[in-house]
Amino acid sequence: MAATAEVVVDTLTTTLPARAKAYAGGTPVLPATVPAVTAGGRQVERPVTWAAAPAGAFAEVGVVELTGTADSGLGEVLPATARVQVTAAVDEGATSAPGTTASATFTEPGYSASGIVNGSTTDKAWSNWKSSGKNATDTLTVTLPADRDVTHVVTTFYRDGSTASWAKDLRVQALVGGAWKDVSASVAVSGDTSRAPVVDVPVDVRTSAVRVVMTARPDTHMVVSEVQVLAKAPGTSSDTALSGLTVDGEAVAGFDPATTSYQVQTEAGATLVVAAVAVDPYATVAVTQAGASPGTASVAVTAEDGTVSTTTVELVTQADLRVEPTVRAQCTGRTATLVVRAVNAGDTLVDVVVTTPLGTKTFRDVAPGKSASQTFSARAQTLAAGTVTVTATREDGATSTQQIGYQPATC
């Protein structure tokens, strides 16, 4: 029997957002590929070309969205986006990056300058000991795999037996534009001979290589455990804000990232899906659905640093709760006032919220047959025509909202 094969062609239809990090004033490393989604729902990585970011795009803390185009594999392109988290800069050890190398103008046989970037601050890594004719100066050079915004160069010396085997002073230089330049003044090394000093020199330079130029103490060799190069890096965000909130695909009315509770009118028994998107691309969103309405959905946003915030969406049903409101504009002396009264003609307790242009009043647990009333003062002789909203809510979450107009008053 002849073999047969079925070939299924699944076309790429869209891409998913990519993400990247940067520190304020820095530049992100953007991904070379983005996830592309096929018509059948599969995901594949496709090469992407990013448009140039506007000047100063990463100058401030926040989230920046960049656009690009992804190769669809059929001679066409798909639109792509990347959301870049921009944080305040923090210092990180640049010498831990793969490809970092170290060298020295002279090294005692049996030791290696490579030890000064091995991450240990307690070993005897580099030495310039000689039996005679000790060097008056020596230089240690650390070369990074790429340019970095360097903030500190920290030199940790090592006490060699009873010898105070560290420099008298040192200065830091950086490779800038192909030439070595001083990026610090000469720094005196502590004269305390009881313990090996650690010399932290602040610098501010973008470079791929630094060197520590050391002047020896008279007729004394120098031993160094580690040269740490610290450079700016993106921090960890604590942002838990939402950028969008929907119920069954419809944006929630009045959405504001600073608001953490909402009410949405629904039909009784409806099962609606609440969805949310975080502002920060490194935050995660978990939604606990409400189930059938009435009910409350909970949206938990966990920031990159573990900070958690919760937003609730209460799905409420519109019901006839038999609350009978009346509104009257009148004069109290020479002052215009607005009198609102709501009678609970139903058979269960309700909460009543009265909202007017002159203020809001909430009444809790208004019993059947009882009323809630409030007089609002315009604090003026005139009151323009307007509308009062009376919202009643039953214990099971069912609500009733009524709007009542009133005439102007002049006193």
Pairing of the two strands 386-394 and 399-406: antiparallel
For 115, 179, 195, 341, 411, the CA distances from 199, given in Å and listed in that order, are 18, 24, 13, 76, 80
Domain ranges of the chain: 12-88, 93-234, 242-317, 323-410
State pLDDT tens for residues 30-40. Answer: 999 999 999 88
According to the model, what pLDDT value does residue 7 have?
46
Residue 134, Cα to own-chain centre: how many angstroms?
53
Candidate CATH numbers 3.30.1330.10, 2.60.120.260, 1.10.287.3510, 3.30.70.260; the one for domain 93-234: 2.60.120.260
Percent helix, strand, coil in the chain, to 5, is: 0, 55, 40
State pLDDT tens for residues 331-360. Answer: 999 999 999 999 999 889 999 999 999 999
State pLDDT tens for residues 61-83. Answer: 999 999 999 998 878 899 999 99
Distance CA 339, CA 253 (A): 29
Check for a shared fold between 93-234 and 323-410.
Answer: no
Q: Global pTM?
A: 0.73
**CATH class assigned to 12-88:** mainly beta
Distance CA 332, CA 371 (A): 22
State pLDDT tens for residues 94-115. Answer: 999 999 999 999 999 999 999 9
163 beta partners: 160
State pLDDT tens for residues 153-177. Answer: 999 999 999 889 999 999 999 999 9
Q: Does domain 323-410 match CATH 2.60.40.10?
A: yes
Distance CA 174, CA 308 (A): 42
3-state DSSP call for residue 291?
coil
For 77, 264, 371, 405, the CA distances from 391, given in Å and listed in that order, are 52, 13, 14, 15
pLDDT bucket at 8, cuts 50 / 70 / 90: very low
